[in-house]
Amino acid sequence: MSAAAAAAAVPGRRAKAAIHWFRKGLRLHDNPALLRACEAAAVYPVFVIDPWFVSEERVGVNRMRFLLETLEDLDAALRARSSKLSVLRGRPEEVLPRAAAHWGADLLTFEADFEPYALQRDEAVRSLLAERGVRVESFVSHSLYDPRGVAAAGPGGKPPLSYGPFVKLLRGIGPPPRPARDPPAAMPSEGWKPAPAALTFTDNATTASGTGDGASSLPASGEPASAAHGDRLAEARIPSLADLGYAPPEHAPLFPGGEQEGLRRMAAKLSRGDWVRAFAKPKTSPTAVGEPDTTGLSPYLKFGCVSSRRFWHELAAVNAGGPHGSPPTSLEGQLLWREFYICHGFSFPNYDRMAGNPVCRQIAWQDDPELLRRWEEGTTGFPWIDACMRQLRAQGWLHHLGRHAVACFLTRGDLYQSWERGARVFDRLLVDSDWALNNGNWMWLSASAYFFQFFRVYSPVAFPKHTDPDGDYVRRWVPELANFPKAYIYEPWKASKQNQRKWGCEIGSDYPEPIVDHVAVSKLNMARHKAAYEAHKAPGPPRDVPVGDSPGAFQVGSAPRAPKRARGDGDEGDAAAPGGSGEERDGASAAKRAKPASP
C-alpha cells in the first residue's frame, strides 16, 4: 500500500476536500453521502455525463430531457447553499481521478447503486482513487433497505421469490431508516476552485483570470452564485439536448424534472388523505387523458429526485389517519414492489436476460424484427396496442396496465417475441425506466418468472372496451381513427369499406390491418408455452417446441372472448405485478387444458 493510500484509509480523518458524485439520488434531502462530503473543508458536487448512456439508441429524448431539467434544478438548489453543480464529461473512471487531483480531493462520496454496470464502474473508480490516496465512501439511500441486508436475511442468503414472503421478511427486519437531515445552509467551500475546463461542457474554456485554475471563495449563503463568480460559472455548465446530439422532443414534458417538482407532486398527492388511504392501483385508469391517474412519482423515484424513505414515512403518517389499504395494491405496496425487484436484480445474476438467469424460464421465443418494429412503432393494426405504444414514444410514459397489455401482446399473447427485446425498447423510451423493475416486470408479464398462469392473456380488443368504452384514448393517439364510432374504434377492420371511406380511414392503406388473428395466435402461443414449460423442466438451452399447425393464425379473425379478472402468482391477487396484474382471460377452452407449471 502506498503512503497516499495508507493515509486515505485512516478512519475519522476530516477530508481536505470532498467530491460528492451525483448519479441517481439527484436531490439534497435524505442524502447521507452528500452529508458525509459536507464534513470536509470544501465539497465539490459533480455529475458525470457518461458517454455509455448518451445515445438515443440507449436513452430516449424524454428521459434525457428529464435528467437535464433535474440537473438544472439541482444546480439551483446548490447555488442557494453557496455551491454549484459541476457537470463533467467522460468515463467516470477517467474523469474522477483527474478531478480529484485538480481539486486536491481526498474523499469521494456517492449513493450506492447495485445494478451490474454500476457495480463494475464503481469498483473501478474505487480502485483507481485508492491508489491515489482518495477515500471512497458509499451510502444506501436509493431504496428503502440495503438489498445486501435483505438478501442475507432471506432463506439461503437470497430474497424470497414471491411477494408475500418477501413482505413478511421486510416486516421482520423492521421499518425503513428515517430520512437523513438536510445539508447545511452554506456548504463548505474553503479554497474553492472551478472545475477543470478540459473535463466540462464549456463556452468559456478559461476563467476571468484566464488560467482556469484560480482559487476563489464562494458567495455567502443566499447570495446568487452567478453574481459573485461571473464568467467563472460559464464553465462546467449543464449541457443542452443539442450538445448531446438529441433533436428537440415533439411534445411538452408530462413530468418536468427536478427535486422541487417531485416534492411538490408528492405533497399534493399525500394531502388527499382519503384518496391515499383508499388507493388501489388496479382501479386506476390506463386510458386517462392528461395527468396520470396514479401518483406520477415514478420518474422522481427512478432518478432519486424524491427519496423513497421520505415518501414511505410521510405516507405512513397519512395512513395513520384512518383505515387504509394494504399491500400489494396500496401505495405502501407499490414501494414494496419496488424493493422486491431491486433486491432480486441485485441477488440474481443475468437479471436482464434469459440465459444464465436462475429465476427465468428458458423459452424458445420467435425472432421476427418486422413484428418487433411494428409493435414499437404502434402499427400493429390493434388500435389499443398502437395507442399505448404511440403514447410511450411521444411522452416516455404509459400507465401500468397499458405496459402490461403491450408486453403481453409482444410476448406470450400474440407476437411471441422475446421479453428481452421488449425490455430494451422500454428501457430506451420510458422516462421512469429502472433496470431491475423493468426486467422483473417483463419476465413477469411474459410468464418467464414469478407469474406462470400463461393462459391469462390480455385481449387487445375486449380489455380496452372495458376500461374506455368510448375510445377517447385511441382517438387521441391514433388520429387516423378519430371519426370511427365507438362500436368500431377497437375493431376498425369490421367496418364496411363504405363506412371506412366515409370516416376518412381505409383499413389496409390509411391504417394497417391487424398484424395477427389474436384468437388463433393466442391459442397457438398458449400451447407453445405449455410445451416449453414441460420441455424445460430439466436444465438446458431452450428448444423450439412443435405444437402443430394453426391455420389462420396470422389472418384477421373474430373478436376475443369476454374478459374475466385474473389472479396473480399464488395468493397475491390482481396486483401480483406492480400495480396489479390486470390481465384478461382469453381462450377459455385452451386455459382448461393448460395447467401452469410449479414455480
Q: Are 516 and 413 in contact (CB under 8 A)?
A: no
Separate counts of helices (H) and strands (E) for the chain: 23, 5
Residue 107 burial by Cβ neighbours in a 10 Å radius (0-12, 13-18, 19+)? buried
Q: State how beta strands 86-89 and 43-49 pair.
A: parallel
Kind and range of the H or E run holding 512: none
3 state SS of 585: strand
Rounded distance between C-alpha atoms, residue 370 and residue 513, angstroms = 15
DSSP assignments along 398-415, one per residue: --HHHHHHHHHIIIIITT
CA angle 540, 541, 543 (to 5 degrees): 115
> What is the 8-class DSSP label of residue 503?
T
User: All 3 cell numbers of residue 570?
Assistant: 399464488
Q: Label residue 290 left, alpha or beta by phi (over 0 means left) and psi (-120 to 50 means alpha).
A: left
Distances in whole angstroms, Cα of residue 405 to Cα of each of 332, 426, 512, 593: 24, 13, 19, 23
**Strand partners for 21:** 46, 110
Q: How far apart are the first and last CA of the chain?
A: 49
> Is-contact 151 381, C-beta < 8 A?
no
CA gap 458, 455 in Å, rounded: 10
Residues annotated within a binding site for FAD: 294-298, 334-341, 432-434
Q: Residues at the annotated binding site?
A: 294-298, 334-341, 432-434
Tell me which residue of 213, 308, 305, 297 sits closest to 259, measured CA to CA. Answer: 305
CA angle 48, 53, 58 (to 5 degrees): 165
* CB half-sphere exposure, 154, CA atoms < 13 A: 22
Cell matching residue 208: 476571468
